[in-house]
Amino acid sequence: MIDYIIFGIVDNGIMLLGAMTGLSIEKYLPKYFHNGIGTILGAGLANAVSDFTGGAVTASWDLAFGTLLGCLMVLVIVPIYKKYRKN
């Protein structure tokens, strides 16, 4: 049970650090990505790294790289959603 608690702490910890980092790097992104999009992208990237790490720890490289690729593919939706939400 303690292993799952530790995994949850690490998993969400990485995601939260990514969200906070996303707030900091948003000012370096084009104006198009302002208004919180940097936070979403930061959290999404951190979640991808976290999920990859979870798969890597189990030495299941198919799981690690497949999950990473799936997470990154979904991040493409963020700018598309932002574009059509404004229209």
pLDDT tens-digit map of 2-14: 766 776 777 777 8
Whether the full predicted model's pTM is greater than 0.85, yes or no, is no
Can you give the pLDDT at residue 53? 86
State how far the alpha carbon of 6 is from the alpha carbons of 12, 13, 14, 40, 45, in Å: 10, 10, 12, 24, 20
Burial class (CB in 10 A: 0-12, 13-18, 19+), 41: buried
Can you give the pLDDT at residue 22? 67
pLDDT tens-digit map of 28-71: 777 766 677 777 888 888 888 888 888 888 788 888 898 889 88
Residue 80 sits in which domain range? 2-86
Can you give the pLDDT at residue 55? 81
Quick check: 87 pLDDT over 70? Answer: no
